[in-house]
């Protein structure tokens, strides 16, 4: 009667943390690519951007594994749907990073005004913050469960979620600023340059958007 | 065949059944501790072997009496052969059903099997009137209630444990005070049970206030001083887990003891019945269970733990990695308390199901990250099928023996 070995199912949280590590890694690598892009070292940038693509693949595979193991036959400390949607959003963060990398690979920029490039670089740095915070949030969620949903740990979690929201706000601001800059500089840039830069900005702000959605799901996990 | 030969056969069957209980069930009693890495599988085998024996030998008597003469009305059995064949049939049926169920991975209870077996032969012999339905209802109710009570208890103990320690402003400080409190509380129950089971006290109040509470207070202060001198860490989580890791060795020992006390009866209840017939004839219904039979059961369980339980514990240790020490403590404490109280009342209940109930309780308190619902469903199904199936097998064997014998 070895009930024990079967009664406990594998917790999804350790794999979720592993997934978020890879996501964070993807965003960090993207930021490195943006740095090269800013410096004009396009050859190095391409190598790094390809690495972003590879890391996104790794994240995808972990995501599939978690999905397969999360059957409805589990009784979990948090709702299964929340975990699955959370995972989806966390994965979208890496997807958005990969989208940015694609835009970087698609063409070399012409002579862009330096203030435009600076805003892009800033957005890249902020998106790392968002990804880092998502990682912190899921590690903290594990802790919340570990503590039996102790108030202290829950309020720490809320604090991380608030920070994610504020980073998202900041990136939104940068996004708007960039749009203005692009239209202010219409003489200095071609139509293609503008299209290119606005798409990079859009994908970058997507990173924090998805991070915010993920945080939203964590909030729901705590309010079962 | 002579009665003595039949006695020998039941002794062998009873020992085999005790061995099976030790090999499979007993491992469950130490599993939380092994899973939470409080002890190694090897240590678990030694502790479980010793305590299962102790539980069976010192505390196993009242449940054994229930199995021996509580299920069937003894006045309705006029032929001594019936008791002998019936006991053999019940033992064989329970063992057979256990083997079949294990093959299909069904977590069936040895307790349910043996009671089904006894009721099965009784009904074939004298119809449903022979079954002591009052007692039977009580027993079946206790199977349903004990996991539920275990779950409710574990739920609240876990909630209270986390509320008193992890939710405080200064968790390290509250851990220093509250950990000894919870440990002390576990010992209140242990002390009370010592009075009732070892000293055969009758008054629960005396047990609680003369033995349980004083022991709990002593343990509280000892633990308090030990923790005060050296709290294992500045991080309350690590610190509290480290404290409960040590305590868990004691609480899972407590489960092993309770398990031995309750489950030994499954193997030796029928043996005791045949022994009574062999020594005194049918008037032997009055003969108390001799100590050597309890020892035989205890030994069988201990041997089962030592020879096969080791393998079970090793797999368990590797597979339950999601269990922390505070959760293990909660499960042990709740389950052992329910099982001991039940065995004090002479109710044979399923240890495994009570432990599973406690696990679910901690899960409902959102303490365990993921529980396999399918297994829970299997267990519940096994409650319903074990008794009739074991009953049918036992009835068939009994019929056969009556014709042949």
For the segment A123-146, what is each residue's pLDDT rounded down to a tens digit? 999 999 999 999 999 999 998 888
Looking at the complex, does the CB of residue A147 fall below 8 Å from at least one CB of chain B? yes
Given a cut of 70, the residues of chain A with pLDDT beneath it are 1-3, 224
Is B235 a residue whose pLDDT tops 50? yes
The mean predicted confidence, pLDDT, of chain B is 86
Nearest to B117 by CA among B404, B374, B388: B388
> Closest approach of chain A CAs to the CA of B364, in angstroms?
7
Taking contacts as CB-CB distances below 8 angstroms, the residues of chain B near A11 are 322, 369-370
Spell out the residues 6+ positions from residue B165 whose beta carbon is closer than 8 angstroms to its own: B171, B174, B175, B178, B179, B236, B240
Cα–Cα–Cα angle for B354, B325, B348, rounded to 5 degrees: 15
Cross-chain residue pair B366–A153, CB shorter than 8 Å:
no
In terms of Cβ atoms closer than 10 Å to its own Cβ (0-12, 13-18, 19+), residue B323 is: buried
3-class DSSP state for residue B281?
A: helix
What is this structure's pTM? 0.83
Residue A111's pLDDT is 83
**Pairwise CA distance, residues B334 & B151, whole Å:** 8
Q: Which of B31, B314, B372, B378 to mutate to test the interface with A (most CBs of A within 10 A)?
A: B372
CB distance B247 to B178 below 8 Å: no
More confident residue, A175 or B81: A175
The answer to whether the CB atoms of B356 and A7 lie below 8 A apart is: yes
Tokens read off for B88? 């053999």
Residue B198 pLDDT > 70, yes or no?
A: no
Contacts of A8 in chain B (CB under 8 A): 35, 319-320, 322-323, 359, 368, 370-372
The percentage of residues in chain B with a pLDDT greater than 90, rounded to a whole number, is: 27
**How distant is the Cα of A11 from the closest Cα of chain B, in angstroms?**
5
For the question of an ipTM over 0.90, the answer is no
Choose the mutation target among B370, B375, B378, B381 for the interface with A, i.e. most A CBs under 10 Å: B370
Instruction: Say if A149 is an interface residue toward chain B (CB within 8 Å).
Output: yes
Using a CB-CB cut-off of 8 Å, the residues of chain A touching B375 are 3, 6-7
Min Cα distance A85 → chain B (Å) is 18
Across the interface, do B316 and A73 touch by the CB < 8 Å criterion? Answer: no
A145 Cβ partners below 8 Å, 6+ apart?
A13, A77, A78, B366, B367, B369
- Give CA–CA dist A177/A112, Å, rounded: 15
pLDDT tens-digit readout, B16-31: 999 988 887 777 778 8
Measured CA to CA, the distance from residue A127 to residue A206 in angstroms comes to 9
Expressed in percent and rounded to 5, the helix, strand and coil fractions of chain B are 85, 0, 15
Q: Left (φ > 0), alpha (ψ -120 to 50) or beta: where does B287 sit?
A: beta
Pairing of strands A74-76, B370-372: antiparallel
Query: Among B94-98, B198-202, B290-294, B313-317, which stretch is predicted with the lowest mean pLDDT?
Result: B198-202
Of the candidates A135, A131, A66, the residue with the CA atom closest to the CA atom of residue A100: A131
The DSSP secondary-structure symbol of B208 reads I
Mean pLDDT, residues B83-112 taken together: 86
DSSP state of B369: S
Closest in B31, B163, B360 to A4, CB measured: B31
Spell out the long-range contacts of B380-385 with Cβ–Cβ below 8 A and sequence spacing 24 or more. Answer: B381/B106, B382/B101, B382/B106, B382/B107, B382/B108, B382/B109, B382/B112, B383/B109, B383/B112, B383/B143, B383/B144, B383/B353
Interface contact A10, partner B, CB < 8 A: yes
Interatomic CA distance for residues A141 and A78, integer angstroms: 10
Question: How many angstroms away from the CA of B125 is the closest CA of chain A?
Answer: 31
The sign one gets for the Cα dihedral A12, A14, A19, A24 is positive
Partner B contacted by A75 (CB < 8 A):
yes
What per-residue confidence (pLDDT) applies to A174?
A: 96
Q: Which of chain B's residues have a Cβ under 8 Å away from the Cβ of A12?
A: 369-370
Q: How far apart are the first and last CA of chain A?
A: 33
Q: What is the predicted pLDDT for the residue at A110?
A: 74
Contacts of A76 in chain B (CB under 8 A): 369-371
CB proximity A154 to B under 8 Å: no
Q: Are B332 and B79 in contact (CB under 8 A)?
A: no
Please name which of B227, B253, B255, B226 lies closest in space to residue B240, comparing C-alpha atoms. Answer: B227
pLDDT at A3: 67
The rounded distance, in Å, linking the Cα atoms of B45 and B50 is 9
Q: CB of B376 within 8 Å of any CB in chain A?
A: yes
Burial of B258: CB neighbours in 10 Å, binned 0-12, 13-18, 19+? buried
- Nearest alpha-carbon partner for B37 in B383, B347, B328: B328
The torsion angles phi and psi of B167, rounded to 5 degrees, stand at -90, 0
Q: What is the pLDDT of residues B330-389, one digit of tens each?
A: 998 898 888 778 877 878 888 778 888 999 999 998 888 888 888 888 888 887 888 999
Phi, psi of B349 (to 5 degrees): -120, 170
pLDDT per position as a tens digit, B102-119: 777 777 888 889 999 999
d(CA B350, CA B250): 21
Residues 126-165 of B with CB under 8 A from A: 158-159, 161-163
Q: Answer left, alpha or beta for residue B127, where phi above 0 means left and psi between -120 and 50 means alpha.
A: left
A57 touches B: beta carbon within 8 Å: no
Nearest to A73 among B102, B367, B374 (CB): B374
In chain B, which residues have their Cβ closer than 8 Å to the Cβ of A148?
A: 158-159, 161-162, 166, 365-367
Cβ contact, residue pair B171, A76, below 8 Å: no
Quote the longest CA-to-CA distance of chain A.
78
Structure token pair of residue A179: 């749009």
> In this complex, is the C-beta atom of B341 within 8 Å of any C-beta atom belonging to chain A?
no
**pLDDT for residue B138 is more than 80:** yes
Determine contact: B107 vs chain A, CB below 8 A: yes
pLDDT at A1: 46
Contacts of A74 in chain B (CB under 8 A): 370-373
Phi, psi of B370 (to 5 degrees): -150, 130
Q: What is the pLDDT of residues B160-175, one digit of tens each?
A: 988 888 777 777 778 7
The span from the CA of B235 to the CA of B387, in Å, is 49
């Amino acid at each position: 009667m070895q009930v024990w070995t079967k009664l406990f199912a594998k917790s999804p949280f350790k794999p979720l943390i592993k997934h978020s590590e890879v996501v964070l890694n993807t965003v960090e690598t993207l930021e490195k690519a943006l740095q090269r892009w800013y410096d004009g070292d396009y050859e190095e940038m391409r190598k790094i951007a390809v690495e972003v693509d590879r890391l996104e693949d790794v994240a995808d595979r972990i995501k599939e594994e978690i999905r397969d193991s999360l059957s409805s036959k589990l009784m979990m400390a948090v709702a299964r749907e929340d975990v699955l949607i959370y995972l989806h959003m966390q994965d979208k963060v890496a997807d958005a990073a990969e989208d940015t990398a694609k835009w970087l690979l698609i063409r070399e920029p012409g002579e862009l005004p330096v203030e435009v490039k600076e805003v892009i670089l800033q957005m890249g740095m902020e998106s790392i913050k968002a990804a880092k915070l998502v990682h912190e949030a899921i590690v903290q969620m594990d802790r919340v469960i570990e503590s039996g949903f102790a108030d202290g740990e829950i309020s720490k979690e809320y604090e991380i979620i608030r920070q994610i929201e504020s980073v998202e706000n900041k990136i939104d601001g940068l996004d708007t600023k960039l749009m203005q800059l692009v239209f202010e500089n219409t003489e200095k840039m071609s139509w293609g340059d503008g299209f290119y830069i606005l798409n990079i900005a859009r994908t970058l702000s997507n990173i924090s958007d998805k991070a915010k959605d993920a945080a939203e799901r964590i909030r729901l996990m705590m309010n079962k | 065949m002579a009665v003595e030969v039949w006695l020998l056969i039941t002794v062998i069957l009873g020992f085999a059944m005790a061995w099976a209980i030790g090999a499979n069930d007993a491992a469950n009693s130490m599993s939380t501790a092994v899973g939470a890495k409080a002890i190694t599988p090897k240590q678990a085998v030694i502790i479980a072997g010793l305590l299962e024996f102790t539980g069976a030998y010192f505390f196993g008597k009242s449940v054994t009496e229930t199995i021996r003469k509580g299920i069937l009305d003894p006045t309705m059995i006029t032929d001594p052969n019936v008791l002998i064949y019936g006991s053999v049939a019940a033992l064989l049926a329970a063992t057979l059903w256990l083997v079949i169920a294990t093959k299909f991975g069904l977590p069936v209870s040895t307790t349910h099997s043996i009671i089904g077996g006894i009721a099965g032969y009784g009904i074939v012999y004298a119809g449903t009137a022979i079954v002591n339905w009052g007692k039977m209802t009580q027993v079946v109710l206790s199977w349903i209630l004990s996991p539920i009570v275990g779950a409710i208890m574990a739920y609240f103990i876990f909630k209270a444990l986390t509320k008193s320690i992890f939710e405080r402003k200064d968790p390290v400080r509250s851990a220093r005070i509250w950990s000894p409190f919870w440990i002390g509380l576990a010992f209140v129950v242990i002390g009370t049970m010592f009075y009732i089971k070892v000293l055969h006290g009758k008054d629960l109040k005396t047990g609680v206030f003369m033995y349980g509470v004083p022991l709990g207070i002593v343990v509280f202060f000892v633990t308090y001083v030990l923790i005060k001198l050296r709290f294992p860490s500045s991080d309350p989580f690590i610190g509290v887990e480290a404290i409960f890791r040590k305590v868990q060795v004691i609480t899972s020992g407590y489960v092993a003891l309770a398990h031995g006390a309750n489950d030994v009866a499954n193997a030796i209840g029928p043996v005791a019945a045949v022994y009574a017939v062999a020594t005194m004839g049918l008037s032997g219904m009055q003969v108390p269970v001799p100590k050597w039979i309890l020892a035989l059961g205890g030994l069988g369980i201990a041997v089962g733990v030592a020879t096969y339980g080791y393998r079970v514990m090793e797999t368990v240790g590797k597979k339950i990695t999601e269990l922390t020490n505070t959760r293990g403590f909660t499960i042990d404490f709740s389950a052992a308390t329910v099982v001991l109280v039940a065995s004090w009342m002479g109710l044979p209940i399923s240890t495994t199901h009570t432990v599973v109930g406690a696990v679910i309780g901690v899960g409902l308190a959102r303490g365990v990250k993921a529980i396999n619902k399918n297994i829970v469903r299997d267990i519940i199904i096994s409650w319903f099928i074990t008794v009739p199936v074991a009953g049918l097998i036992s009835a068939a064997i009994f019929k056969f023996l009556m014709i042949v014998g």
